[in-house]
Structure 1
Amino acid sequence: MADYKKQSISLTGAVGLGTGVMISAGIFALLGQVAELAGAGFPLIFIAGSIVTAFSAYSYVKMSQQYPSAGGIGMFLMKAYGKSTITASAALLMAFSMIINQSLVARTFGTYTLQLFNGSQADWLVPILGVGLLLFSFLVNISGNAFIQSFTSIASLIKIIGLTVIASAGIWVADFTFTPPESNEGSLTVSMENYIAATALTILAFKGFTTITNSGSEITKPRKNVGRAILISILISLVVYMLLSWAVFTNLSVSEIISSKDYALAEAAKPAFGDTGLWITVIIAIIATITGIIASVFAVSRMLAMLTEMKLIPHKHFGMPGSVQKHTLVYTVVFALVLTISFDLSRIASMGAILYLVMDMTIHWGVFKHLRKKVNANPFIVMGAFILDGIVLSAFLWVKIKSDLLVVTVAILLIIVTFIGEKLFLKRTSENS
């Protein structure tokens, strides 16, 4: 059996897990990419992302109240679609998107850490540092729930306070105005499809709330606290994102943000703090990415363990000792290591957004079609979430097809291979049972 401990994570610990994932890659790695798509309007895109996320979260909260489980999304899909190819494939897509997010956070850690050193650094140092962070997260995760929730909660509080101070100082230097630098004015000709596509990346910044649903019954009073933890995490993250994007918007031009998109926050801190601002921001980025990785690995390994116990995915021990959850922890970190070494930040984020939105739409359709009465869900809100996801995904795919066809091709192939592989696996296990 997986190594679950019911009622072992407090409400504060659950919020720490959620914000630990959200306020990491979400703001440090994606802010520049959002600005690249949306131009000077990028701060407002985070509000759009939070609205779409709020619609999406409704389905997850309703499901969590009715079916609190450490299997989280895997269990939700099982309730909606039964033991089927759709259930197994969509759950794996969610796991893949979370593992992709881990590699995004790992590379962000490497990128920001290198800003502490003067002069240009070799490109291979970024994935090497990312690999080191992933290995550290593995060691932390085998130490147990109590240490994880304490570590992530304290570190999350530190980074939230630190980022709020940096953002407030940046806004203060800009005299609390919403006026961008003059050179931002030339970037207002952005198409509507780009604005919508940028929203896909901000959704990726907020999707850390699913870490909470994947902890399910491990949270104290799950029927009440899962929904509370999700709402609190989204609100905290939105406030931090808006403050930071405002500070960046008023201190850097869009071209400056794009040119330093992998470490834009460090550049934005310089007007208020000088070189000290760079150090402060990088240290907070390191703390943020560490907590993000630990919380995400924690959630994915448990979801994969539950899917294994539900006999929805194949599992090999490879001679490893310990529980299934320990094995899935190893698989999670190994897959993230491969992605960290193989892809850059932009492509990692794009693949993560595509896979997550496909899975998210599958959840909403399942709730609307099969479970809305059982979980007492408002069908208009659920279908609204499905439609919003579809609009954002379509725009994002269209923009990426024109700018980076490879990443779209890889994502689509991964989805197809996942569905075919799961169909064959479930057929074989059905024949053998």
Structure 2
Amino acid sequence: MQEQQEDHTTHYQKNSLSLLGTIALGTGVMIGAGIFSLTGQMAELVGSAFPFAFLAAAIVVSFSAYSYIKVSNKYPSAGGIGMYLHKMYGHSLSTAFHALLMYVSMVIAQSFLARTFGSYTMQLFDVEQTAFWVPTLGAFLIAGIFAVNLTSNRYIQGTAYFLGLVKIAGILVFGVLGIYLMVSSGQTLESEISLVAAENDWTAFIAATALGVLAFKGFTTITNSGSEVINPRLNISRAIIISIASCIVIYALVGWSVAGNLSISEIIEARDYSLAAAARPAAGNVGVWFTVIIAIVATAGGLMASVFAVSRMLAMLTEMRLVPHSHFGMPGSIQKHTLVYTVLLGLVLTVFFDLSRIASLGIIFYLVMDTAIHWGVLKHLRNDIQANPVIPSLAICLNMLLLAGFGASKWQSDPLVIWVALAVMAVIWLVEYFFLKKVEQTEATHSHH
């Protein structure tokens, strides 16, 4: 065993990701949980207007993607967002705080995937205690993915790539078949898709759009694999644009399919597993099995890609001395340690929070971090990367609108989520504040000697 030596470096392979591989990774993370459980959560907020909320989310994300494309064209990096923030705000509290928000929001996305996996898997069994089994299955999945992530990069990329393709193909089949069955049986849409439901309540529509953003935010995973992409200056922006576009098409198909086979009240009732429920009336048990298997592949594949990207981002921040790091007596590289922290945090969230709360926390943290990226582009990098200031400014306004609408909606329905979000942000801010002070002091004493 040669590996037992204290190896605290991170390992990257330049040029190991093709354009197709990059798109598969991005689309893979996006389709992961997004479509399987968000459809129901969004329908719960805006009823029959949920497909429009998906579209609105796609528009918001398209504005948002501009900043990431501009920065990654100029500075492709394996640390992705952590590095971008560093370029904008230097070695500062602002960089550390927002990078950790991104980290936490990505870990939240993992527990979201894990619980979605549990909710769908339970559709195959006739069990009453779903409250116990959903988080338990989710926890098992995270543990399994942890084991896979301890192996090599090649293996992860190969598996994630394969699962990504299976899942995208499966979801397309689901969407097309659902619409075909709906049309062939001569029925119109079960749940009339309309904007009427949303007109009276704009906060609900804005809140649903905010949730919809979660279904697209996987494109940021692409920027995390920056330096590994072949010809990154060209391919990163291509991959981001293609991933977002393909997700819009796929979500439209699926949304239509679900709305065609279930009424709004049925979608809401089955909100954690709405796709499986939609398959039942049209295609019976075979349909349910098919959908659950795709959901399992989708969530497992998404989790694998995500755990890999997130633990690597934390390793990067650790190397930049932006976050405190303790080995807790563990052997191996920093990336192995960050993998352990990432998995433990994901397990805690999976066990203690339900799907809608996990999604709410994720979207709050993501929007705050995303706004910091656009502000950084406007304030610090505008001339350097030749960005058009109008687009990031618009992205900031849209983010603020979503945060306000989402916050207002949650404040009425589930204020605990807002308190937890604020508490977590406060803790991150304080811990980082004292940690960076300590780093400064040690550097100051070193420079005196």
Q: Does 1:181 align with 2:190?
A: yes
Residue number among 419, 424, 433 corresponding to 2:434 in the alignment: 424
Runs of 4+ in 1 over 4 A off after TM superposition: 176-179, 182-187
Residue number among 8, 12, 35 corresponding to 1:4 in the alignment: 12
Paired letter, 1:114: M
Counterpart CA distance in 2 for 1:184 and 1:45 is 11
Counterpart CA distance in 1 for 2:120 and 2:58 is 25
User: CA deviation digits over 1:246-302, x for unaligned, max 9?
Assistant: 001111111100000001000111232111110000000000000110011011011
Deviates more, 1:141-150 or 1:409-418: 141-150
Residue number among 233, 256, 268 corresponding to 2:266 in the alignment: 256
Counterpart CA distance in 1 for 2:187 and 2:382 is 43
User: CA deviation digits over 1:351-388, x for unaligned, max 9?
Assistant: 00000000000110010111011011110011111111
Paired letter, 2:422: I
Paired letter, 1:432: T
User: Equivalent residue of 2:402, what SS?
Assistant: helix
Q: Which residue of 2 aligns with 1:170?
A: 178
* 8 Å contact from structure 1 (residues 312, 426) kept in 2: yes
Counterpart CA distance in 2 for 1:16 and 1:133 is 21
Paired letter, 1:192: W
Counterpart CA distance in 2 for 1:175 and 1:65 is 44
Q: Which residue of 2 aligns with 1:147?
A: 155
Q: Which residue of 2 aligns with 1:408?
A: 418
Structure-2 change in CA distance of 1:186 and 1:396 (3 Å): closer
Residue number among 198, 201, 205 corresponding to 2:215 in the alignment: 205
Residue number among 371, 377, 387 corresponding to 1:367 in the alignment: 377
Counterpart CA distance in 1 for 2:129 and 2:17 is 41
- How many residues align? The count is 433
Q: Does 1:48 align with 2:48?
A: no
- Which ranges in structure 1 are unaligned for 5 or more consecutive residues? none
Deviates more, 1:106-115 or 1:190-199: 190-199
Counterpart CA distance in 1 for 2:381 and 2:395 is 15
User: CA deviation digits over 1:70-119, x for unaligned, max 9?
Assistant: 11101100111111101000000000000000000000001100100124
Q: Which residue of 1 aligns with 2:352?
A: 342
Q: TM-score, normalised by structure 1?
A: 0.97
User: CA deviation digits over 1:162-219, x for unaligned, max 9?
Assistant: 1111111111122189943268889826501111111111101111111111111021
Q: Which residue of 2 aligns with 1:75?
A: 83
Q: Which residue of 1 aligns with 2:4?
A: none
Residue number among 219, 228, 232 corresponding to 1:222 in the alignment: 232
Counterpart CA distance in 1 for 2:105 and 2:192 is 36
Q: Does 1:318 align with 2:306?
A: no
Structure-2 change in CA distance of 1:432 and 1:392 (3 Å): same
Q: Which residue of 2 aligns with 1:14?
A: 22
What percentage of aligned pairs have identical amino acids?
Answer: 55
Counterpart CA distance in 2 for 1:26 and 1:122 is 21
Paired letter, 2:179: I
Counterpart CA distance in 1 for 2:53 and 2:42 is 8
Structure-2 change in CA distance of 1:184 and 1:222 (3 Å): closer
Counterpart CA distance in 2 for 1:131 and 1:297 is 14
C-alpha deviation, 1:304, in angstroms: 0.4
Q: Which residue of 2 aligns with 1:124?
A: 132
Q: Does 1:112 align with 2:110?
A: no
Residue number among 95, 98, 110 corresponding to 2:106 in the alignment: 98
Structure-2 change in CA distance of 1:60 and 1:395 (3 Å): same
C-alpha deviation, 1:123, in angstroms: 1.5
C-alpha deviation, 1:135, in angstroms: 1.2
C-alpha deviation, 1:42, in angstroms: 0.3
- Which ranges in structure 2 are unaligned for 5 or more consecutive residues? 1-8, 444-449
